[in-house]
Amino acid sequence: MGKTVILHSDVDAFYASVEMMLDPRLKGKTMAVCGSTENRHGIVLAKSYEAKARGVKTAMATWEARRACPGLICVPPQYDQYLKYSRLVRQIYLRYANDIESFGMDENWIAVEGGGSVRKGGLEVAEEISQTIKDELGLTVSIGVSFSKVFAKLGSDMNKPNGITVLDEENWREKVWPLPVSELLYVGQARTRKLMSRKVYTIGDLARIDVELLRSWFGKNGLMLWAFANGLDSARVCPMDYVVPIKSVGHGTTCVVDLDNEYAVWLVLYELAQDVGARLRENELAARGVQLTVKDKDLGWRQYQMTLKVTTQSALEIAQSVFTLFKARYNWIKPVRALTVCGINLVSNNQPVQLDLFNNAERREKARKMDSAIDEIRRRFGYGAICAASLMGDLKMAQDKCETVVMPNMMYQ
């Protein structure tokens, strides 16, 4: 049996490509998928390669993109379609492998078992996958082929669009080490600035740094980055049915107008906590702590957290806790633009709870049963079938549901 070859397949300009496939009139045009301006998501989510050549960038404000590219065609996102085609692409991958790991809606690692050498076995499968997706779905993918997940991911970014890049044991140093250090997985803007301030400009520079020095700069993450740069990543592609352990449950939103008073903030927090509580109950988990992230109107952000005296799945208790945090910590120098609520330090809901004299166990049990009844009503008749009276008014939350598209953002190791 041959060795495992790892592919990383990335659908090119995914949102934009799906829109062009659904509406062929958009093909070859300078177009971008943009969030709703009315809902404060007025940024570029994806763009065609023609728009990219004219200076349009992902996360650019829509008005700024139109200024850079006069005549830019802006279309609203269709998340249901993106989820549909994400599933269809993964079904094609399943014809070639059993171990497939998502890294976002449009990216997947694929472990090809018994594929022989990276160049022979892996390249052949990559070519078949690329052609099949193009023929059946009208989309193109860029694929990296390598002996590690990190280099496969790196390879998929090197020859876009519709390209295949092989990084094997013989050529990876020649191709990888000259690249900017920012190209390496998990080297974001902050780490790039820190590394460049220490004269680490390329992946090769990072590979040659003393590993203990990197540990002193970044802790255990420094060891991880050094291993990545030296081709020592040994992480496997997780099995298709592997369920990543849930470490936190959160929900956030960008508000349709800036919030300038505590009651408006409370309503948004309570609505966000509805989803957090429901997902905790669905997964039979309870939170021992809560975390609140606040983004102000100038996009500055702050994050606060606290430990709870009693574990909870209750939306009301979660909302009350994060609201307490907000009132105690936010100084109101600027209005609030966005909020995120998380349940953290999760434990099984079946774990015994130590009660005290200040908690009414009978009342908590009645509240738990009420929450379960609400879950069942919403499951049968839709989310809007029942809600708190206070949330029926003018809730300053976006309604385009882009926050419901949540994908993994860390690779399995």
What is the model's pLDDT at position 313?
93
| pLDDT band at residue 405 under the 50/70/90 scheme | very low
- For residue 394, what are the CA distances in angstroms to 207, 267, 276, 391? 54, 9, 21, 8
CATH topology assigned to domain 249-404: Dna Ligase; domain 1 (3.30.1490)
What percentage of the chain carries pLDDT values higher than 90? 63
| φ, ψ of residue 61 in degrees (nearest 5) | -60, 145
Q: What is the pTM of this model?
A: 0.73
What is the model's pLDDT at position 1?
46
Mean pLDDT of 213-233: 94
Which CATH superfamily, name and number, covers 1-167? Reverse transcriptase/Diguanylate cyclase domain (3.30.70.270)
Which of 32-41, 53-62, 169-178 is predicted least confidently?
Answer: 32-41
Domain ranges of the chain: 1-167, 177-240, 249-404
Which of 60-64, 157-161, 257-261, 382-386 is predicted least confidently?
Answer: 382-386
Mean pLDDT of 300-321: 92
Please state, in angstroms and rounded to a whole number, the distance separating the CA atoms of residues 322 and 306.
8
| pLDDT band at residue 400 under the 50/70/90 scheme | low
Is residue 398 scored above 90 in pLDDT? Answer: no
Is residue 343 scored above 50 in pLDDT? Answer: yes
Is residue 39 scored above 60 in pLDDT? Answer: no
The answer to whether the beta carbons of residues 31 and 48 sit under 8 Å apart is: yes
What is the model's pLDDT at position 408?
45
CATH topology assigned to domain 177-240: DNA polymerase; domain 1 (1.10.150)
Please state, in angstroms and rounded to a whole number, the distance separating the CA atoms of residues 173 and 192.
20
- Counting Cα atoms < 13 Å in the Cβ hemisphere of 113 gives 11
What is the model's pLDDT at position 248?
86
What is the model's pLDDT at position 2?
55
Per DSSP, the three-state class of 144 is strand
| pLDDT band at residue 326 under the 50/70/90 scheme | very high
Which residue numbers are catalytic?
A: 107
What is the model's pLDDT at position 157?
94
Mean pLDDT of 141-170: 95
Contacts of 186 (CB under 8 A, 6+ apart): 221, 224, 225, 228
| pLDDT band at residue 404 under the 50/70/90 scheme | very low
Could you tell me which residues are beta bridge partners of residue 147? Answer: none
Report the chain's C-alpha Rg in angstroms.
24
What is the model's pLDDT at position 358?
63
Q: DSSP secondary structure string, 278-292?
A: HHHHHTTEEEEEEEE
Mean pLDDT of 206-234: 94
What is the model's pLDDT at position 59?
79
Mean pLDDT of 70-96: 94
**177-210: pLDDT as tens digits:** 999 999 999 998 889 999 999 999 999 999 999 9
Is residue 259 scored above 80 in pLDDT? Answer: yes
